[in-house]
A = this chain, B = another copy of it.
Amino acid sequence: MASNIGNRVRLSVFGESHGTAVGCVIDGLPAGEALDWGEILTQMARRAPGRDKTSTPRQESDTPELLSGTLGSAEEGTLRTTGAPLAMLIRNQNTRSGDYAQLARLPRPGHADYPGFVRYQGYNDVRGGGHFSGRLTAPLVFAGAVCKQILRRRGVRVGGHILEIAGVRDRRFDPVSVNGGMLEGLSARPFALLDPAVETPMREKVEAARMDCDSVGGIVEVAAVGLPAGLGSPMFEGMENRLAALLFGVPAVKGVEFGEGFGFAGMRGSEANDPYAYDRNGRVVATSNHNGGLLGGITNGMPLLLRAAVKPTSSIGLPQRTVDLVSGEDAPLTVRGRHDPCIVPRALPVVEGVVCLGLLDAMETERAGE
């Protein structure tokens, strides 16, 4: 497997849905960084299931235990990084493996069951999806919450919102005026939207799918402000390359775009190019931001903007068609267990998290502006 990534700030993720634990090792964090434990738990809670009807009623404690890499006390607010690898684990509980007993032979459509079976010759842990489970995103949120705090002290703020669920659309970030205060506000909310009026229709779509034993997909939009210009490297170590490599590590993400993204296909250059001007402080700014803060993979000092498409939850209650890998015959499948009719709200803090990880890694690797 290859559940690790990063240049200077490197993440190694481990665990299975129904095994002993999930967790991660973050190697290369700067030393002496204060960690607000409460903020980490807040971000973990945004991802945790069981909060409302859009998610599975499974209760997961999701309480991370620190194993290494810090000194001080979370309770007393004196927790700091030491610069050594920061390891964390979350013990699993409340798992009902019986729900998944049939999966070893009946791969679920839309899941990694069948490719995983071939890749690991049938030796992989299929209970709850094993290492492919959405539960593995808990360490991603944890790592992101650590990085987010360090980024904030460097003047970088990251936040996002649900842009679309089941065809119901929030408005997009204003690519020029999006700011840190707004992003911090969104990042504290469980169901983050720019336009609160779309919450009800979105939730209705999710509830309708739930009633049908079905699921719906969506899009999340994330922004980062305060990045220095000049961050990123050409060709394969641009910010787009690095962030995309992280974002496609989030289960269910099937598309990533920066700035106008696929919308560029219908634009002309005269519209797409962002003109430059000096602002009042003599700083170079762009007067529009169709490119999402990135040109040639390198930041230009404008807000970084990206969107990630999230496919509908693969686990649905409706009957499906699959194959029986043991008998060698086609077979019907009804997936039991408790599943999210819509993963999008829980995917948002994960996407924000990996963006934070990618940005801090780039800043530690390149020290832009120094």
Contacts and interface: CB of A to CB of B under 8 A. Distances in A.
A296 B110 CA distance: 9
Interface residues of A, number: 156
A311 interface: yes
A68 B19 contact: yes
B131 A12 contact: no
Nearest to A217: B264
Contact of A31 (B123, B254, B260, B368): B123
B1 A4 contact: no
A58 interface: no
A351 interface: no
A118 to B, nearest CB: 3
A20 interface: yes
A287 interface: yes
Nearest to A297: B248
A303 interface: no
Q: Ordered nearest first, which 7 A-B pairs have the shortest CB separation?
A: A112-B296, A2-B237, A255-B257, A118-B230, A110-B273, A115-B298, A215-B269
A201 interface: no
A84 B15 CA distance: 8
A218 interface: yes
Given A12-B25, A229-B114, A296-B116, A234 B311 contact: no
B264 A254 contact: yes
A35 interface: no
Contact of A85 (B20, B69, B131): B131
Interface stretch (A41-49, A144-152, A186-194, A239-247): A239-247
A370 B116 CA distance: 15
A363 interface: no
Contact of A323 (B278, B301, B328): B278
B262 A219 contact: yes
Interface in A125-143: 125, 130-132, 136
B264 A23 contact: no
A267 interface: yes
Contacts of A182: none
Given A235-B3, A244-B256, A255-B261, A311 B115 contact: no
A336 interface: no
Contact of A15 (B87, B273, B323): B87
A322 interface: yes
